Amino acid sequence: MKKERLNKNFLDEFKNYTFSSIKEKNIYLVGSSRFKDYFLKVESILQIVYEKQVYICSVDGLFNKQKFSEEEWERLQTIALQKLHNHDAILIIDVNNYIGDHSKEEIEYFEQAIKKPIYYLSQLKN
């Protein structure tokens, strides 16, 4: 049996999303760590199907937010704002239209300081 990560079952969950509308090459994913499964799936789809370069602030932060002290977490958020400058666009993982406070801060910073395209997962859905 052929092994394939992006099999039909995997892709069916996202069949109604228009990822092709994202034209930029370097995409930074922003969103709550509660949606880490979405981060993983969207990253794979964008990279394998659409040949995008996809980034997030911290893999460890995404999976282990509760293990960080408040000071450590704030450092990661500062780094996230710095990393935004290296990307052509951001994609907000806003499952059920939820956007957390740190994500809102990143979006606002990207809008005001960087002024590049912002996409919302919820708006990519047909």
Per-residue pLDDT of the chain (126 residues; tens, 9 = 90+): 677 888 888 889 999 999 999 999 999 999 988 898 999 999 999 999 999 999 988 778 777 888 989 999 889 888 888 888 889 999 999 999 999 988 998 899 899 999 999 999 999 998
119: domain range? 20-124
In a domain, residue 32? The reply is yes
The amino acid occupying position 90 is: I
Alpha-carbon span 108 to 63, nearest angstrom? 24
In a domain, residue 85? The reply is yes
CATH number at residue 81: 3.40.50.450
Q: Alpha helices, DSSP H only, in 1-126?
A: 8-12, 36-44, 59-64, 70-83, 101-109, 121-124
| Count of structural domains, the chain | 1
pLDDT at 7: 85
Alpha-carbon span 96 to 115, nearest angstrom? 25
Alpha-carbon torsion, ordered 20, 22, 25, 30, to 10 deg: -120
pLDDT at 1: 64
In a domain, residue 7? The reply is no
What pTM, to 2 d.p., does this model score? 0.88
In a domain, residue 15? The reply is no
Instruction: Let me know the angle formed at the C-alpha of 80 by 77 and 82, rounded to the nearest 5 degrees.
Output: 115
In a domain, residue 10? The reply is no
In a domain, residue 5? The reply is no
In a domain, residue 119? The reply is yes
Instruction: Let me know the angle formed at the C-alpha of 55 by 76 and 74, rounded to the nearest 5 degrees.
Output: 10
pLDDT at 117: 96
In a domain, residue 41? The reply is yes
| Per-residue model confidence as pLDDT tens digits over 31-42 | 988 898 999 999
